Structure 1
Amino acid sequence: MPVPPSISGTSVDDAQHDDPWVADYIHECAVVRQLSKHTVNNYRRQLLGIRSMLELSDWRELGIEQCKRVLHLGHQRGLSARSINLQLTVLRNFCQFLVKQKHLASNPAKNVHSVKQNKPLPKQLNVDEMGMLLEFKRDDFIGLRDKAMLELMYGCGLRLSELTSLNLHDIEEHSQQGQTLRVSGKGNKQRMIPVGRKAAQALGAYLKLRTQYSGLDDDNALFLSKQKRRLSNRQVANRLEHWAKQQTLYQQISPHTLRHSFATHVLESSNDLRGVQELLGHANLSTTQVYTHLNFQHLSDVYDKAHPRAKKK
C-alpha cells in the first residue's frame, strides 16, 4: 500500500483520490456497512479535512497529541461541541479500521475524551400547533402533494430522507390493518409503520392526481416535483417552510420538528418507550430516551397546574 501523500493546499474532492486508506474506509462504510450516501460523504469530508488541518503526510504520524489537537483547533475555529465530537468520532472509527487493516498498531484516538456538551431537547409542536399547520385545504396537485407529505411525516414519524426515498410500492393495503408504509431507514434497515386515518385520506387524494404521471424516469417515486421528478430533501424543507408561514406559525420549523412532534405525542399518550423506538427506527433505546425528558416536562406542567400543593400564589 503506498503512503498517502499530503493533501495540504488541495480541495477535499481532489484529495480523496490521493488517499487510498480513506478510500478503503469509505468503501467499507458504503458497501459493507451500507451507510447512507449523505453519511458517507460527510465521513469523507471530515477525514480529509482533519488530515489537511493536521498537515499529515502519512496517517501513521497520527498520535494522541495530534488527536487532542483536533479538539483544540476545533475550539479555535469556533466549532460547536457537537461538531468537534463528530470529528473525533469519525477519526476514532477510522483509526480502528486502520488497526483492523494492520496499517496502525493501535488506535491513537481511542482514549481521547470527547468535549462535554449540553444536549438540547428536540423542538416539537404541540397538538394544537400541529393541527394548525396541517389544516390547509387545496385541491390542486401541489397542494394535495404537500398535504400528503406533511401528514405522512407527522403521522409516521419519518426522517426527511425516508420521505423522499419512498416509492409507490412502499404503500401496502391490508384488509384488517389498513394501510402500512414500508420505510428504509439508516443502514437500509426496513420497518413497517401503520398509516393513520388523516394521513391515509391525504395520501389517497394525492394519489388520484399522481396517477397521471406515468412513464417517467422517476415513475416509482411517491412524491414528485412540478418537473415530474422525485422531490429532493431541500424542496420538501422549502415547502414545509412555506406552509409554516402560510399557517402563521411564527417559529422555525424543520422536517425533523414533525418527527420530534410525532415521537413526543405518541409517548405522552402511550408511555410506551419501546413502541416509540420501533416506530422511529432507532437502533438503540438510549436514542429514544431523550423523549422521556419531554414527557416529564409535560407531566410537570400538568402537576403544577393541577395539584393544590403545587399551585403558585
Structure 2
Amino acid sequence: MLKDRDLVKTLTADAILARVDFFLSTLAQDRSQATVNTYRKALEIFELWVLEQGGDVELSQENLEKFPVYLKTERHVSHATIQTYLTAVRQFFVFLVRERLLQENPAKNIRVKPQPRPLGRGILTEDEIKRLFEVSEGRDPIRLRDRAILCCMLRKGLSETEITKCNYENLERTLMGEELNIRGENRRIVPLDRRTYESLRAYLATRRQPIPPKDPLFQSLGTREKYERLKVRTVRSRMRRLLDLAMITRVEVSPQSLSHTAIYLMIQQGIPKDALKEQIGPYRFYHRVNDLKSRGLIDPSY
C-alpha cells in the first residue's frame, strides 16, 4: 500500500469529486453545518482550479501554491476567505493521508503572507457617505434591513457586535424621543435621530407582527439561517457589499470604518466628551478618541 502511495504524483478533478462527499460526511461528525458548507464550497472551487489546469495537478507545494494566487487574481477573493479555503484544502489532504491514499500532505506548508493592516480605520468623506446612502435605497426587506444597519453604524456609531446583540425590546420610545437601550457590561442609551429611527421602523414593518420583545432587532434573511440572529460576519459582509456598490475602494476603509466615521463626525459636530463617552461606552471612547488624536484628525485637547 505504501509503495502505491509513493507513486501518486498528481491529483485529478475526478479523484477530488470521488472523495469529497466522504470527507465532508466525516467532517460533519464534529463540525457545524456552516463549517461543512464552507469546506464544500472551498473544495468545489479547488476542483474547478484543477479542471482549469487541464484536469490534474502535480502534488507538490510549489505547484499547489498557485491555488491561492488563482483565488486572489482570478476570483478576487478576500484575504480572509483565501485563508479559510486553504484550511479546507489542507484538511482534505490530511484526510487523504489518514485514509492511506497519500503518503504526505503536500499542502501542509502552504501559507499566505499576512495582509498589511492600515495604521487606522479610514474615515469616510462627505461624498462617500452620500454615495453609501444612495446605493442602500430600496423597498425589499433585505435592502431595508441593510439600510437600517447602515444608519445605526454610520449615524450613531454602533459596532458590528452591538448590531447583532440588540433585541427588539432595546428599541424604546420615551418623552425625550426614540432611543436604543443597549444592555451589557456597561448599559448605555443611544438617542436616535429621525432618519435612523425611520429606517428602523421601515425595516421592522416588513417583519411578522407582533414582534416578540426578545427577538433580535436584526434578523438573517438568508435561506440557511432565515429569521435567526445576524452574525457579525454577515453584518460585515453586507456592509462590505454597500461599500463596493458605492465604489469606495480605499484600502484603509472597511465596514468598521462606518462606526469610526460616526464617532469622528459626532466630535466634529461638538458633542461633549461626557455625552460621547456615555453613548459609545468608555472603552471605545478612549480607544477611538486616542486613535483620532494620534492621526491628527481631531483637536489634541478634546
> Which category describes the TM-score, using the shorter chain as reference length?
0.5 to 0.7
Label 1:232 to 1:292 Cα distance change in 2 as closer, same or farther (>3 A).
Answer: closer
Asked if the contact 1:157–1:263 (Cα under 8 Å) also holds between the matched residues in 2, the reply is yes
Q: 1:279: which partner in 2? A: 279
Q: Does 1:178 align with 2:177?
A: yes
Label 1:133 to 1:249 Cα distance change in 2 as closer, same or farther (>3 A).
Answer: same
Q: 1:206: which partner in 2? A: 203
Identical amino acids, percent of aligned pairs: 25
RMSD after superposition: 3.4
Superposed counterparts of 1:132-211, under 5 Å: 132-135=131-134, 136-175=136-175, 177-185=176-184, 188-211=185-208
Asked if the contact 1:127–1:265 (Cα under 8 Å) also holds between the matched residues in 2, the reply is no
TM-score (norm 2): 0.53
Label 1:211 to 1:288 Cα distance change in 2 as closer, same or farther (>3 A).
Answer: same
Asked if the contact 1:263–1:291 (Cα under 8 Å) also holds between the matched residues in 2, the reply is no
Label 1:149 to 1:156 Cα distance change in 2 as closer, same or farther (>3 A).
Answer: same
Q: Does 1:221 align with 2:216?
A: yes
**Structure 2: 5+ residue runs without aligned partners?**
1-112
Q: 1:234: which partner in 2? A: 233
**Residue 218 of structure 2 aligns to which amino acid in structure 1?**
F
SS of aligned partner of 1:153: helix
Cα offset, 1:267, TM superposition:
0.6
Q: 1:269: which partner in 2? A: 269
Measure the CA separation in 2 of the matches of 1:172 and 1:151: 17
Asked if the contact 2:164–2:232 (Cα under 8 Å) also holds between the matched residues in 1, the reply is yes
**Residue 276 of structure 1 aligns to which amino acid in structure 2?**
L
* Cα shift readout 1:148-180 (whole Å, capped 9, x = no counterpart): 1111112221111111011000000023x2110
Matched residue pairs, number? 184
Label 1:157 to 1:204 Cα distance change in 2 as closer, same or farther (>3 A).
Answer: same
Measure the CA separation in 2 of the matches of 1:288 and 1:146: 24
Asked if the contact 1:264–1:291 (Cα under 8 Å) also holds between the matched residues in 2, the reply is no
**Residue 180 of structure 2 aligns to which amino acid in structure 1?**
L
Q: 2:247: which partner in 1? A: 248
Greater RCO structure (CA 8 Å; 6+ sep): 2
Measure the CA separation in 1 of the matches of 2:205 and 2:242: 22
**Residue 280 of structure 2 aligns to which amino acid in structure 1?**
L
**Residue 145 of structure 1 aligns to which amino acid in structure 2?**
R
Cα offset, 1:121, TM superposition:
3.6
**Residue 189 of structure 1 aligns to which amino acid in structure 2?**
N
Label 1:157 to 1:124 Cα distance change in 2 as closer, same or farther (>3 A).
Answer: same
Superposed counterparts of 1:1-313, under 5 Å: 120-135=119-134, 136-175=136-175, 177-185=176-184, 188-212=185-209, 220-226=215-221, 227-252=226-251, 253-270=253-270, 272-283=272-283, 286-290=286-290, 292-293=292-293, 296-297=296-297
Measure the CA separation in 2 of the matches of 1:284 and 1:154: 15
SS of aligned partner of 1:289: helix
Cα offset, 1:237, TM superposition:
0.6
* Cα shift readout 1:254-274 (whole Å, capped 9, x = no counterpart): 332111101111111206333
Measure the CA separation in 1 of the matches of 2:233 and 2:126: 25
Cα offset, 1:299, TM superposition:
7.5
Cα offset, 1:251, TM superposition:
2.8
TM-score (norm 1): 0.51
Label 1:250 to 1:137 Cα distance change in 2 as closer, same or farther (>3 A).
Answer: same
Cα offset, 1:295, TM superposition:
8.4
* Cα shift readout 1:31-86 (whole Å, capped 9, x = no counterpart): xxxxxxxxxxxxxxxxxxxxxxxxxxxxxxxxxxxxxxxxxxxxxxx999x9xxxx
SS of aligned partner of 2:122: coil
Measure the CA separation in 2 of the matches of 1:150 and 1:168: 17
Measure the CA separation in 2 of the matches of 1:79 and 1:139: 40
